[in-house]
C-alpha cells in the first residue's frame, strides 16, 4: 500500500470543462500516486469520460491545471499526453485491426534500422512484454484475430512499452467474461506494484472494491468524495454516486397470468447461449442477469431475430414462434427496447414522431391511397407523450434534442405502439438520469399490470431487484440458477453470476500481490 506522504504522480486541480449548455466538469480535484490503483466511479454523465479525454489530450480544459510530479503541464493532443507518461485505454480500444500485435504495441515508436522498420527487434520486444502479461500469442498476429480480452492486453502492452507512468482504464471489464476479469484485475494489481499509477474507471463496484486502493466518486461533473477502500462501504459509494440514500427498493405485488412465452433448450448462434429453457407469464417481469458475455443479451437478441436460434423451440401463446428477423418478431407481438439506443434505436436526424411510429407504420396509414397520415401520427405522439410523460416541445422536433430519459421513453413507446404482448428490455435505463429512471420503473409497473409480459436484461442490480419477479442468472452462456420472489437479491445474483469463491479469491490474490513482494 502506498504511503500517504508520497507526492502525487498526476494531479488535476480546479479542472473545469464547459460545453455549450452543460458544464461537464466543475472545479474538480483529483490525484493519483505512484503504485496505487485509484478507482473513479460515477453514473453516466458524472464527468468521468470528460476527465479521461482531457488527460488523454483529446479535449482541452476550460480552466484548471494538470500537474505531473508537481509541475504544471499542458498538452494539446494525444501525443502530448503520451509524452508526459500518460496512457489511456479507452473502452472501445484504440487498436488498428489490420496491423499486427507488435505494430499496435509500438505504433509511432517502431524500432528502425535507418529508414526501415526493424521487425526482429520489434517482435522480440513485444514478445517480452506479452510474456510479462502472460499473453501467449505471436507478435505478428493481426489484432483482428484476437479475442476482446487479448486485445485489451495488447492495449496494456502498448502502455507498458511506452513506459507509461499513469495508465487510465475506462470500463475495462465491460466486454470480459468472469475468468478474464480475474486475470485483468491481477494484472492491474501487478502493474501498480511495479510502480505504475492506475486510474480505474468503472461502474462495477465489486471489481472496484477488490482492486482499488482509493475510491473517488464523481457526480454531475463534481468531485464528491475520495476515500481509501477500507474506509468506505459499497452502500456509501452508491449513495454518493446517486446523491441520496436509496429508498428501500420496492417491487409492487404482481399477479401473473398464464404462460405466454415458452422456451425449450434454446441454443443461440451455435453455442453462445446453450440449452436455455424458461417460461414467461403474462403480467410478470422475468429478469436475465449475468456478467457481460454470459449470454443474457445474446438470448434477448435471439428471441427478437437479431441472432440465429440454432436449436430448441420457442412457443408464443401456444403457437410455435419463428422469429428469424426483427420484422417477424414484431409481427408476432414481440417488442424490443435495445441497449445503446444511439447505435441501435434512435434515428437522430428524424423527428420524435417518426421515431415513435416507425415500428408499426402500416397501422396509421390513410386508406386510399396508402399514404402516411401526419395528423394522426402527431395525435398518437401527443397521446404517448401524455401516457409516458415524455418531455419535448413539438412532435416534429428532432429527437436528438431530447434528454436521454425522454429518448428512451420514445423507444419504449415505439415498442408499445406495435401492440406487443411480450416486451424485451435491454438495459432500459442506461444513460438515463435518476428522475427519469424512477418514472420508467413506474411505467413498467403499469405495463405489467395491464398484462404485458416483460423480459428484462440489465446489469444494474438495484434495477433488477426493483423490477423482476423472477430472475435467471447466466454464467458463460448457460442458465445457472433461477431465483424468484424474495430470493432475488443483489448478493444472491452476484454470488451466482461471479461465483462467490471467485470474488473472495480476487481479493485474496490482490492482497497477496500487494503484500508479497
Partner 1 sequence: MSDRPQILSMSSSQHEKDRRRAAIDWDLLWEKFGIATVLILVWIVAALGTPRFANLDNLSSVLRQSAFVGISAIGMTVAIIAGTFDLSVGSAQALSAWIAVLVAAHYGVVPAFIAAVLVGGIVGLLNGSLVVLLRIPAFIATLGTMFLISGLTFIFTNGQTARFNGKDFVWWGNGQLGGIPVPFLIFLLCALVGVVILHRTPFGRYVFAVGSNIRAAHVAGVPIGRTVLCVFLTVGLFTGLGAALLGSRLYSAGPGLEPGFELNVIATVVLGGTRLAGGRGSMLGTIAAAILFATLANILNLNHVDAFVQRVAVGLVLLLALSVEGIRQRLFERWNRRKPPTN
Partner 2 sequence: MESRGGRFIWFRPSPVAVTLLVVGAVFAVLTPAFLTLNNLLNVCTSASVVAIVGLGMTLAIASGNFDLSVGSTAAFAGCIAMSVVPQIGVLPAIALGIATGALVGWVNGLIVTELRVPAFIATLGMLTIVRGAALIYTRGRDIYLFGKTDYKILSSGVTPALLALAIALFFGFLLKHTRFGRHILATGSNLASARRVGVRTTYVLWSVFAIVGATAALSGLILSAQVLTGNGRLATGLELSAIAVVVLGGTPLTGGQASIPGTLFGSLLVAVINNGLNLLNVSIFYQNVTLGLLLLGALSLTSGWTSKFGRIASKGSVADVAKGGDGAKSA
Helix (H, G, I), strand (E, B) or coil at 314: strand
Under the criterion CB under 8 A, does residue 312 sit at the interface with partner 2? no
Shortest Å, Cβ 312 to partner 2? 20
User: Considering only residues 143-172, where is the footprint of partner 2 by CB under 8 A?
Assistant: 143-146, 148, 151, 158
Neighbours of 51 (CB within 10 A): 27
Distance of CA 39 to the CA centre of its chain: 16
347, 354 in Cβ contact below 8 A?
Answer: yes
What sign for the dihedral angle of Cα 498, 271, 321, 414?
A: positive
Q: Of 109-117, 354-362, 399-407, 426-434, which segment contacts partner 2 by CB under 8 A?
A: 109-117
CB of 301 to partner 2, least distance (A): 8
Q: Beta-carbon neighbour count of residue 449 at 10 Å?
A: 12
The binding track of 237-276 with respect to partner 1, each residue x by CB under 8 A or -, is: -------------x-x------------------------
CA 150/CA 148 separation, integer angstroms: 5
Give yes or no for residue 79 binding partner 2 (CB under 8 A): yes
Query: Among residues 183, 398, 480, 507, which is the contact residue for partner 1, using CB under 8 A?
Result: 398
Query: For residues 469, 457, 282 and 360, what is the CA-based torsion angle, rounded to 10 degrees?
Result: 150
| Smallest separation, CB 295 to partner 2 (Å) | 14
Using rule CB under 8 A, residue 365 touches partner 1: yes
User: Does residue 127 belong to the site contacting partner 2 (CB under 8 A)?
Assistant: no
140 binds partner 2 (CB under 8 A): yes
Site for partner 2 in 324-343 (CB under 8 A): 343
Asked if 336 interacts with partner 1 (CB under 8 A), we say yes
Report d(CA 207, CA 40) in Å as an integer.
Answer: 12
Residue 336 CA to its chain's centroid (Å): 18
Choose, by CB under 8 A, the member of 67, 119, 451, 502 that binds partner 2: 119
Upstream peptide bond of 369 is cis (omega within 30 degrees of 0)? yes
97, interface contact from partner 2, partner 1, none, CB < 5-8 Å by kind: partner 2
Question: Which ranges of 194-293 does DSSP label H, i.e. alpha helix?
Answer: 205-211, 234-242
**Under 8 Å between Cβ of 276 and 303:** no
44 binds, among partner 2, partner 1, none (CB under 5 to 8 A by kind): partner 1
Nearer to partner 1, 242 or 350 (CB): 350
For every residue of 367-395, DSSP letters joined together read: SSS--B-HHHHHHHHHHHHHHHT---S-T
By CB under 8 A, tell whether 137 contacts partner 1: no
Shorter beta-carbon distance to partner 2: residue 113 or 245: 113
**Nearest residue to 495 via CA among 511, 466, 473, 464:** 473
* Residues near partner 2 (CB under 8 A), total: 41
Interacting positions 5-44 with partner 1 (CB under 8 A): 19-20, 22, 24, 44
Residues 248-307 that bind partner 2 (CB under 8 A): 301, 306
Min separation Cβ 109 and partner 2, Å: 9
Is 374 a binder of partner 2 (CB under 8 A)?
no
- Of 259, 270, 48, 291, the C-alpha closest to 149 is 291
| Strand ranges across the sheet with 222-228 | 86-89, 166-170, 197-201, 37-41, 214-219, 222-228
What is the C-alpha to C-alpha distance for residues 304 and 406, in angstroms, rounded to an integer?
A: 24
Which residues here bind partner 1, judged by CB under 8 A?
19-20, 22, 24, 44-46, 48-50, 52-53, 58-60, 250, 252, 304, 306, 326-327, 329-330, 336, 338, 342-350, 354, 358-359, 361-362, 365, 370-372, 389, 391-394, 397-398, 401-402, 414, 418, 431, 438-439, 442
Which residues here bind partner 2, judged by CB under 8 A?
56, 58, 78-79, 82, 88, 90, 92-100, 102-103, 107-108, 110, 112, 115-117, 119, 123, 139-140, 142-146, 148, 151, 158, 175, 301, 306, 343
Amino acid at each position: 500500500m502506498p504511503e500517504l506522504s508520497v507526492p502525487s504522480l498526476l494531479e488535476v486541480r480546479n479542472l473545469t470543462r464547459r460545453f455549450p449548455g452543460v458544464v461537464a466538469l466543475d472545479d474538480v480535484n483529483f490525484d493519483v500516486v505512484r503504485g496505487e490503483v485509484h478507482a473513479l466511479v460515477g453514473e453516466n454523465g458524472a464527468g468521468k469520460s470528460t476527465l479521461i479525454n482531457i488527460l488523454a489530450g483529446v479535449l482541452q480544459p476550460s480552466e484548471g491545471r494538470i500537474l505531473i510530479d508537481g509541475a504544471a503541464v499542458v498538452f494539446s493532443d494525444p501525443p502530448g499526453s503520451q509524452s508526459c507518461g500518460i496512457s489511456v485505454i479507452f473502452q472501445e480500444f484504440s487498436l488498428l485491426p489490420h496491423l499486427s500485435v507488435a505494430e499496435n504495441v509500438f505504433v509511432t515508436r517502431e524500432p528502425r534500422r535507418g529508414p526501415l522498420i526493424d521487425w526482429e527487434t520489434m517482435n522480440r520486444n513485444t514478445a517480452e512484454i506479452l510474456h510479462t502479461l502472460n499473453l501467449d500469442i505471436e507478435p505478428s498476429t493481426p489484432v483482428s484475430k484476437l479475442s476482446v480480452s487479448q486485445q485489451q492486453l495488447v492495449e496494456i502492452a502498448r502502455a507498458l512499452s511506452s513506459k507509461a507512468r499513469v495508465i487510465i482504464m475506462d470500463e475495462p471489464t465491460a466486454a470480459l467474461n468472469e475468468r478474464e476479469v480475474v486475470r485483468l484485475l491481477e494484472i492491474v494489481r501487478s502493474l501498480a506494484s511495479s510502480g505504475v499509477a492506475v486510474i480505474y474507471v468503472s461502474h462495477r463496484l465489486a471489481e472496484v472494491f477488490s482492486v482499488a486502493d482509493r475510491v473517488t466518486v464523481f457526480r454531475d461533473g463534481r468531485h464528491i468524495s475520495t476515500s481509501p477502500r477500507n474506509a468506505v462501504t459499497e452502500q456509501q459509494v452508491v449513495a454518493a454516486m446517486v446523491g441520496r440514500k436509496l429508498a428501500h427498493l420496492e417491487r409492487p405485488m404482481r399477479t401473473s397470468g398464464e404462460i405466454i412465452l415458452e422456451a425449450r433448450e434454446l441454443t443461440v448462434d451455435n453455442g453462445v447461449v446453450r440449452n436455455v429453457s424458461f417460461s414467461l407469464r403474462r403480467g410478470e417481469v422475468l429478469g436475465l442477469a449475468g456478467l457481460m458475455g454470459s449470454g443474457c443479451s445474446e438470448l434477448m437478441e435471439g428471441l427478437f431475430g437479431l441472432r440465429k436460434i440454432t436449436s430448441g423451440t420457442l412457443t408464443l401463446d401456444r403457437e410455435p414462434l419463428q422469429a428469424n428477423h426483427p420484422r417477424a418478431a414484431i409481427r408476432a407481438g414481440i417488442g424490443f427496447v435495445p441497449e445503446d439506443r444511439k447505435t441501435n434505436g434512435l434515428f437522430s436526424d428524424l423527428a420524435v414522431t417518426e421515431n415513435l411510429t416507425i415500428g408499426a407504420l402500416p397501422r396509421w396509414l390513410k386508406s386510399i391511397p396508402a399514404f402516411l397520415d401526419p395528423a394522426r401520427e402527431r395525435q398518437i405522439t401527443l397521446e404517448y407523450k401524455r401516457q409516458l410523460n415524455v418531455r419535448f416541445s413539438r412532435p416534429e422536433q428532432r429527437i436528438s434534442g431530447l434528454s436521454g430519459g425522454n429518448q428512451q421513453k420514445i423507444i419504449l413507446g415505439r415498442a408499445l405502439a406495435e401492440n406487443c404482448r411480450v416486451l424485451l428490455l435491454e438495459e432500459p435505463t442506461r444513460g438515463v438520469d435518476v428522475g427519469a429512471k424512477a418514472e420508467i420503473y413506474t411505467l413498467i409497473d403499469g405495463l405489467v399490470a395491464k398484462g404485458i409480459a416483460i423480459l428484462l436484461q440489465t446489469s444494474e442490480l438495484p434495477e433488477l431487484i426493483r423490477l423482476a419477479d423472477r430472475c435467471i442468472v447466466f454464467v458463460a452462456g448457460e442458465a445457472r440458477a433461477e431465483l424468484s420472489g424474495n430470493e432475488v437479491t443483489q448478493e444472491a445474483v452476484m454470488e451466482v453470476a461471479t461465483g462467490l469463491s471467485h470474488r473472495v479469491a480476487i481479493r485474496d490474490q490482490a492482497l497477496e500481490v500487494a503484500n508479497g513482494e
